[in-house]
Chains A and B, each alone.
Chain A
């Protein structure tokens, strides 16, 4: 059991060399063929498992979001013995359910000149050349049948009057490839996926364990061979062993506390796996969504997302004069600054998210923010209503408008919405190779917990896609490829020392949280951590700020282990204990997030460093040094002066040559 209380050298002015060393490079094991042929080539080389042998393999899938439900169902359909876990009471509740806007697919049915290649180009370029090109190709190639499959299992996609699938265009692209179901795309896909999972439960191929939280990974003989879970109702802690483990536990945006994620979204499964040897890729790459609701009060529990699709018809502006207190309607056209249209005439209000978020932050910080706390910008539908008519605008966005009105009490049809950047999507995640396998053999990732497709910035509607593709069409090939040579081996017995050690570690940690006996509940620490991260690792970062953030996070972590108060007991439903465990992990992970941000001495995508920008405020990438992935290993938290170890994976681009992102 490691002791996270000890702080390392506390240097508010630290440099990258103070906090990290360089390790050996990692190999992404991308097939050595042109990127567009990589997936065909790899599939051809995966060893197979004969149908009769499949039930001899047990695979653990953690998470029932689009990635987890898809992987568990697909592996079950193939005949593997699947054990599936979720912290929720029902598989449908995974946070995929909350996605509104849509899911991309390179079906290219229209004559707007879309294609798989263009999809890849948009994805790679949108990610500012910090993702894997071959992964983006696979994503585009598999996207076609994802739509077919989700349609077939019950997702009622929006249709045109002729009966064909409807599409719309999303930020960062000039073609129309986003499939949707009103503003509930995530819900419809998620429910369809969860229902497909329940079909396998009924068939007996998948055993579903609801309200169970993975708290550790079992690694034996250098392979992931099981997990430790806590039953959230009884508090029982037990190990489950298997031939392989798939993590599909979602993103870590909730580390910022006020985010668009769900209250129970967490990084615990990923972080515990990291502590057992799975490298963490690019933790500083976190997307701030430009159209989230601004904070309006202290007790507001999150920054609800307003779908980006609103930017199709809404125009974003702030008053041209700082500290202009007039009501929006009272500000004449000539005294408004439509800053996105001004700075980026080609893409206008549809610039990619990082560009839009940064531009908003810049205006707000410069004193042009609107609303009572001056922390927002306007998103205005007056022109759209004049152009298209009220009815059309309402038909397009009614549920979003309703949601906004619910939350704020304002009607967007009569007064502009107020929006602000909010922490949203984690491009970073557990590092994996082309086969979705982490640096721990046998441990796979799918969905937002992984990293590969989105580089330093994700394009809208690409992550429902990546979660679906991973779950339904990548892991079902890759996992059997790993299992095949293990035929005839048994799962680890529960008295194996590795299992006992992992179970004991979870017990000890739980005990420690319950017995600290401090004065502050975990939520208070979470809120403070969020404030630190927004301040120092937000939309714009500086080396001094990140160093300060590291120092403050260490101090907060130290305070946590001294002063956290977790009431109640371990052997019962104890939500405070759940929260405390997750916040404890965030307090470790946040340090790495800042270390990565400090270390990556360039601006790219969502990672904008103020010390790397052009004279007109655009991001300055450094392809000579930084065209690579940082895959991190963390020191044991009790090792004094220990440093994080960075392993590099160099990135090469063949099909989409390196170029400067330019949305002007």
Chain B
């Protein structure tokens, strides 16, 4: 099938960008969105034009590298699916598809469809870790963790760090991302010790780089890891808890 692609081209962070229009005449239904870009790039190279820069790595929905806006929607038309698992079968023959980078003030464009998402790691660096050094951990079987608790922690630990939630949010909030990590670590008994200090540090850092949450809920619709919307409530709750207790734990 034939698709017309309007692709955002931008040389680097300092240059202005613009859409350029290309046609891929031999797209097939089983191609992924990123394989469509591979196809386009092969064609561009053949014509002596610079290929489109875009990020991907695992191509199976787990590394969080990929992420483009498709007709304004982070990752693509299919809900809760990363760009690498979006398929051409979602588009109609002859359709015009607009591809741009994930848009957010916190994610400056590096080139074409590639953005800088390091603000997310700054949130983790501020407190999304556990103060246990190699070799000092107790036996993992001595602290019992109920099946339900482990499963709940996993629901929130599933975040792949793609940043689509931020790009989907009209305010550019990273609450779903931050709340997911806070809930994951607050749920497990073995990582609860720094619960208060962690909440304060992570939320402060989050507010430094990202916008506020107005509970629009757009984030949970695009999130490829299916992080529950309740994660955003954890942001305020965990910080309030830390404030009321006034302790690191």
Chain A residue numbers with a CB within 8 Å of B32 are 301
Q: Answer whether residue B56 sits at the interface, using C-beta atoms and an 8 A cutoff.
A: yes
> Contact: A262 with B63, CB < 8 Å?
yes
Residue-wise, chain A 147-179 has the 8 Å CB interface mask toward B (1 for contact) of 111011110111111111100000000000000
Task: Kindly list chain B residues whose C-beta atoms are within 8 Å of the C-beta of A575.
Answer: 51, 53
Once A407-B85, A575-B53 are accepted as A-B contacts, the answer to whether A154 and B146 lie under 8 Å apart by CB is: no
Bound-complex Cα distance A523 to B37 (A): 13
Residues of chain A within 8 A of B55, CB atoms compared = 89
A576 to B: closest C-beta gap in Å? 6
A658 at the interface (CB under 8 A from B): no
Known: A90-B120, A297-B31, A406-B81. A152 touches B132 (CB 8 A): yes
Whether B38 contacts A92 by the Cβ 8 Å rule is no
Residue of A159, A202, A297, A407 touching B28 (CB-CB under 8 A): A297
| Contact of A297 with B63 at beta-carbon distance under 8 Å, contacts A153-B130, A198-B124 already known | no
Judge whether A88 and B65 touch: CB under 8 Å. Answer: yes
Most buried by B among A77, A95, A263, A521: A263
Asked if A264 is an interface residue, CB under 8 A from chain B, the answer is: yes
Cβ of B64 and Cβ of A154 under 8 Å apart?
no
Report if A157-B150 is in contact (Cβ < 8 Å); known contacts: A233-B110, A299-B38, A473-B135: yes
Q: Name the contact of A473 in the complex, choosing from B121, B134, B160 (C-beta under 8 A).
A: B134
> Which chain A positions have C-beta within 8 A of B141?
109, 164-165
- Residues of chain A contacted by B135 (CB below 8 angstroms): 145, 149, 472-473
B125 touches A262 (CB 8 A): no
Q: In the complex where A77-B134, A148-B137, A184-B158 touch, is A93 in contact with B145 (Cβ < 8 A)? A: no
Q: Which residues of B contact A187 (CB under 8 A)?
A: 62, 158, 160
- Kindly state whether residue A573 has any CB partner on chain B within 8 Å: yes
Task: Answer whether residue B59 sits at the interface, using C-beta atoms and an 8 A cutoff.
Answer: yes
A521 & B42 in contact (Cβ 8 Å cutoff): yes
A102 part of interface (Cβ distance < 8 Å): no
Choice from A74, A90, A157, A299 contacting B39 with Cβ under 8 Å: A299
In the complex, chain B residues whose CB is within 8 Å of the CB of A165: 140-141
Is A182 positioned at the interface, with any CB of B under 8 Å from its CB? yes
Residue of B64, B81, B187 with highest tally of chain A CB at under 10 A? B64
Question: Is the CB–CB distance between A152 and B140 below 8 Å?
Answer: yes
Residues of B within 8 A of A199 (CB): 125, 129-131
Residue interface mask A326-343, B partner, CB < 8 A = 1: 000000000000000000
Asked, given contacts A473-B135, A573-B53, whether A151 binds B190 with beta carbons under 8 Å apart, the answer is yes
Identify the closest chain B residue to A191 (Cβ): B157
CA distance A304 to B87 in the complex (A): 15
Bound form: Cα–Cα A265–B56 in Å: 11
Question: Would A406 and B160 count as touching, CB distance under 8 A?
Answer: no
Q: Which residues of A contact B63 (CB under 8 A)?
A: 92-93, 95, 97-98, 262
A403 within 8 A of B: yes
Cα A260 to Cα B147 with chains together (Å): 31
Beyond A148-B138, A198-B128, A567-B45, is A262–B59 a contact (Cβ under 8 Å)? Answer: yes
**Contact in complex: B125, A198 (CB < 8 Å):** yes
Nearest chain B CB to A21's CB is how many angstroms away? 39
CA distance in complex: A195, B45 (Å): 39
Instruction: State whether A151 touches B140 (Cβ < 8 A).
Output: yes
**Minimum CB–CB distance for A181 against chain B, Å:** 6
Q: Answer whether residue A210 sits at the interface, using C-beta atoms and an 8 A cutoff.
A: yes
- A565 an interface residue at 8 Å Cβ cutoff? yes
Q: Determine the residue in chain A with the shortest Cβ distance to B54.
A: A575
Partner of A409, one of B30, B45, B111, B191: B30
Residue of A whose beta carbon sits closest to that of B122 = A198
Report how far A185 CA is from B175 CA in the complex, Å. Answer: 25
Inter-chain contact A154/B118, CB cutoff 8 Å: no
Contacting residues, chain B, for A148 (C-beta < 8 A): 137-140
Q: Does B60 sit at the interface, judged by CB under 8 A?
A: yes
With A93-B65, A575-B53 known to touch, is A198 a contact of B121 (CB < 8 Å)? yes
B150's closest neighbor in chain A, by CB? A159
Chain A residues 370-427 with CB under 8 Å of chain B are: 403, 406-409
B204 at the interface (CB under 8 A from A): no
- Which of A156, A164, A187 is most buried by chain B, counting CB atoms within 10 A of its CB? A156
Q: Does A568 contact B (CB under 8 A)?
A: yes
Q: Tell me whether A89 and B117 are in contact (CB under 8 A).
A: yes
Residues of B close to A92: CB separation below 8 A: 63-64, 121, 161
Residues on A with beta carbons closer than 8 Å to the beta carbon of B42: 521, 523-524
* Residues on the B chain within 8 Å of A408, using CB: 30
Q: Are B129 and A147 in contact (CB under 8 A)?
A: no
Contact B57 A198 (CB under 8 A): no
B116 located at the interface, meaning its Cβ lies under 8 Å from any Cβ of chain A in the complex: yes
Interface: B35 (CB within 8 A): yes
The reply on A140 being an interface residue by CB < 8 A is no
Least CB distance from A161 to B in Å reads 5
Residues in A whose Cβ lies below 8 Å from that of B128? 195, 198
Interface assignment of B188: CB less than 8 Å from any CB of chain A: yes
What residues of B have a CB within 8 angstroms of the CB of A403 in the complex? 60-61, 85
Contact status B132-A149, CB under 8 Å: yes
Contact A521 B45 (CB under 8 A): yes
B119–chain A nearest beta-carbon distance, Å: 11
Task: Check if A33 is an interface residue, CB within 8 A of chain B.
Answer: no
- Specify the chain B residue showing the minimal Cβ separation from A109: B141
A638 on interface, CB distance cutoff 8 Å: no
Are the CB atoms of B184 and A521 closer together than 8 Å? no
B12 near A196 (CB under 8 angstroms)?
A: no
Which B residues from 136 to 186 make CB contacts under 8 A with A?
A: 136-141, 144-147, 149-150, 153-154, 157-158, 160-161, 184-185
Q: Whole-angstrom distance between the alpha carbons of A300 and B36 in the complex?
A: 10
Say yes or no: A301 contacts B38, CB within 8 Å.
yes
Q: Is B245 an interface residue (CB 8 A)?
A: no
CB distance from B190 to the nearest CB of A (A): 6
Is the beta-carbon distance between B12 and A163 smaller than 8 angstroms?
Answer: no
| Residue on B nearest A265 in the bound complex, by CB | B57
Contacts of B145 in A (CB 8 A): 156, 159, 163
Cβ contact of A90, chosen from B60, B118, B184, cutoff 8 A: B118
Closest chain B residue to A93, Cβ basis: B63
Query: Given A89-B65, A409-B30, A521-B51, are A95 and B144 also a contact pair (CB < 8 Å)?
Result: no
Residue from A264, A304, A523 in contact with B57 in the complex, judged by beta carbons closer than 8 Å: A264
Closest to A521 in B: B45
Q: How far is the CA of A296 from the CA of B45 in the complex (A)?
A: 24
Please determine whether A299 and B53 come into contact, CB atoms closer than 8 angstroms.
no
Nearest CB to that of A161 among chain B residues? B147
Complex CA–CA separation, A145 to B134 (angstroms): 9
Of listed A181, A195, A299, residue having the most chain B CB within 10 A:
A299
Please state if A572 and B12 are interface contacts (CB–CB under 8 Å).
yes
Asked if B247 is at the interface (CB within 8 A of a chain A CB), the reply is: no
* Chain B residues numbered 84-101 whose CB sits less than 8 Å from any CB in chain A: 85, 87, 89
Q: Is B114 close to A, CB under 8 A?
A: yes
When distances are taken between beta carbons in the complex, the residues of chain B under 8 Å from A159 are 144-147, 149-150
User: Which residues of A pack against B, CB within 8 Å?
Assistant: 70, 73-74, 77, 88-93, 95, 97-98, 109, 145, 147-149, 151-154, 156-165, 181-182, 184, 186-188, 191, 195-196, 198-199, 201-202, 210, 233, 262-265, 296-297, 299-302, 304-305, 403, 406-409, 472-473, 476, 519-521, 523-524, 565, 567-568, 572-573, 575-576
The 10 listed contacts between A and B (C-beta, < 8 Å) are A92-B63, A92-B161, A159-B145, A159-B149, A195-B129, A263-B56, A473-B134, A476-B134, A565-B48, A567-B45
Q: 4 closest Cβ contacts across the A-B interface?
A: A163-B144, A152-B137, A151-B140, A521-B45
Known: A154-B188, A154-B191, A406-B85. 4 other contacts (CB 8 A): A70-B134, A89-B55, A109-B141, A521-B45
